[in-house]
Amino acid sequence: MILNLLRARQWYKNIVVFIPIVFAKAFFIQGKLENAVIAFISLCLISSCNYIINDIKDIEADRKHPEKRHRALASGRISIFNAEIIAFSLFAGSLYIAYSIMPALVIWPLALFSSTLCYTLLLKKIPVIDVQMLALNFIIRTTMGSVAVNVPTSAWLYLLAFLLALFLGFGKRYSEAELIKDKKEFYEPVLIITVSCLLGSYFFYTFMANAENSYMMLTIPLTTFIVFRYFYLIKTGNRIARQTELIFSDRQILFSIIVWALLCFTILYKF
């Protein structure tokens, strides 16, 4: 029940905090991985705090939704008062953990909290801007990972994190519109444009940002399959597109991501 309230399955979004340490080839440098893990935990706590606030605000609408009515607050399994206490505890815990790495690092969980709160209270109902705000959060997460381990991060990786979030966000909006029989025509061309930009940027990254290591181009087929597989799930109305936390329940995507990660790690650290 508590994990349902915290939406622990959506913590996967915070994995981008490890992008800087991996692609800067600093994974095995003493102390850096520990800091990245601590930053990941801090982001998970602040993310759950944001999810609780969002669920409190949307509790009435969620009770009428065919899928969201099963959430902990909407179903009444947890009271609003208890949820507020948990949210405050998560907020304080996140800042304390970030502070334990370095005092200045608290800026980033605060930035994620502020950005998401702005989305929840003001921008959630504005098409395009709503998804862009969620994509901005991926940039914040990646930046926190870079600052926590004190390594530079390629602008290409920030761009890819942003475009990936746009793809997931617009895919979710398309799938939700289809579920409630709302207008979805706008999202179809936007999805195609986003997929094109995402894959194109990744292709350029592999042979421009890694000019000294052309082996990264070997990851292109896997990346293409993962993106197109998810695009297929979106277009066929699979609930994974609406509930992105279930993405790893698709065996084809899970296997491909594991192989892609192992291949990237091998190329970066062995060649």
Residue 133 domain flag? no
pTM of the model: 0.90
Helix axes 220-235, 187-204, angle to 10 degrees: 170
User: What is the 3-class SS of 59-90, one letter each residue?
Assistant: HHHHHHCCCHHHCCCCCCCCCHHHHHHHHHHH
201 and 252 both lie in a single domain: yes
> Which residue has tokens 């009444």?
76
Domain final residue pick, 88, 106, 126: 126
98 and 174 both lie in a single domain: no
CATH of the domain at 25: 1.10.357
Q: Structural domain of residue 189, as residue ranges?
A: 154-271
Torsion of CA 212, 215, 218, 219, to 10 degrees: -60
120 and 162 both lie in a single domain: no
Structurally, how many domains does the chain consist of? 2
Each residue's pLDDT, cut to its tens digit, for the chain (271 residues) gives 777 888 888 999 999 999 999 999 999 998 999 999 999 999 999 999 999 999 898 888 878 777 778 787 888 788 889 999 999 999 999 999 999 999 999 999 999 999 999 998 988 888 899 999 999 999 999 999 999 999 999 999 999 999 999 999 999 989 888 877 667 778 889 999 999 999 999 999 998 766 566 888 999 999 999 999 999 999 998 999 988 889 999 999 999 999 999 999 999 888 7
